[in-house]
Amino acid sequence: MPPPLRHGRYIPAMTGALSAATIAQAPKVLLHDHLDGGLRPQTVIDLAESAGYRNLPCQDAADLARWFSEAAYSGSLERYLETFQHTVGVTQSAEALARVSRECAEDLAADGVVYAEVRFAPELHVEQGLSLRQVVDAVLDGFDQGTTGSIGDGRWIRIGVLLTAMRTATHSKEIAELAVEYRDRGVVGFDIAGAEAGFPPTRHLDAFEYLRRENAHFTIHAGEAFGLPSIWEAIQWCGADRLGHGVRIVDDIDMSDPHEPQLGRLAAYVRDRRIPLELCPSSNVQTGAAASIADHPIGLLRRLNFRVTLNTDNRLMSGTSMSREMELCCEAFGWTLDDLQWLTVNAMKSAFIPFNERLDIINTRIKPAYAALKEAESATTKE
């Protein structure tokens, strides 16, 4: 039986939390990770020097990592997004894009990620003359290098790319066409991102209609800084396959009786249709979508069996990794290896690659590794 609810969240189990070493070994699947939000601090400094970028707040890697985290911890999505001016500012060349993509693959593989979908907005990297296609080519080249090197070192990983359009701009149809053009070369889907309030997803309806005609996959940032109307539009008007964040779906759940939560019609539709939620706890706390990890709706949504997935969003800004997000949630909600496997399989089921490939990763990478971890944990408990 799952632990009872109190005020809409789990009461942590009284047993000890999983060890960091166990979590580090667990295979992970990541669906919501921004390339420009995951740079290594030293790489930001190196690229700034190479590009002549003079606007960094400091020049020491540890200090810069601290600055990004503190600046992002603002309680505002708009202020959180301001930190990206630096990571975007230093990635305006093909060489820089290839480097950060390669390092992204290496870092995810080192964290135990076996499948990731990493997103970025090509339109943000053309300030110094690159074309949109040159941007995409550079990123794909970098991921090829990073995955090949990681697999050669014994850390298997596969990465798919999501092309993002900025919801505050007017290039979404062009980026959608680019996603379709590159879908047999490593791009697996499309996304829109940026400030939600005042920029509803329906402003980009032509892009979504085009993608549906082309049988292409897409997710939409919705229900993070803005509430239920954003989620409703993303699903019912735009036809999103997944919801980027979607955390505000909790606003449609009546918790008057914490033991018998009542789902509104939109929440029930999202759960019944198994629409995946790309939840990012640490990031949501930073932007004010949740007061703390313990108060994050992921605990409630997992108990209610929504199609929950766990994600990093922006590893640099949140100072996080998939292992850390798992650790925080295990501590807050008393999650076990069974919970982590459930989340990981959820994410793999929801990926934008073909069914047979998803199934292969589940059966050959995820389930055997979790079975081994459970056996080791059981043996340790008996001792």
* φ, ψ for residue 32, nearest 5 deg: -130, 95
Residue 6: beta bridge partners? 9
156: left (phi over 0), alpha (psi -120 to 50) or beta: beta
> Helical H runs in the chain?
20-25, 41-51, 61-72, 77-82, 84-89, 94-110, 132-152, 172-181, 205-213, 228-232, 265-272, 281-287, 298-303, 315-318, 322-333, 337-349, 355-361, 367-382
Rounded to 5°, angle at Cα 283 from 282 and 287: 120
327 is catalytic: no
Give me the catalytic one of 106, 117, 123, 224: 224
Distance CA 151, CA 147 (A): 6
Question: What distance lies between CA 337 and its chain's CA centroid?
Answer: 21
CA dihedral 207, 249, 225, 35 (to 10 degrees): -60
Structure tokens belonging to residue 303 = 């108990």
Q: State the burial class of residue 85 (Cβ atoms within 10 Å of its Cβ: 0-12, 13-18, 19+).
A: exposed
Structure tokens belonging to residue 343 = 């989340």
Give the residue from 13, 75, 4 showing the smallest Cα distance to 255.
Answer: 4
Rounded to 5°, angle at Cα 51 from 46 and 57: 60
> Helical H runs in 153-291?
172-181, 205-213, 228-232, 265-272, 281-287
For the packed helices 41-51 and 61-72, what is the interaxial angle rounded to 10 degrees? 100
Give the residue from 115, 106, 113 showing the smallest Cα distance to 143.
Answer: 106
Q: Are the C-beta atoms of residues 72 and 80 closer than 8 Å to each other? A: yes
Question: Measuring CA to CA, how many Å separate 38 from each of 8, 68, 124?
Answer: 31, 11, 16
Which residues are identified as catalytic? Answer: 224
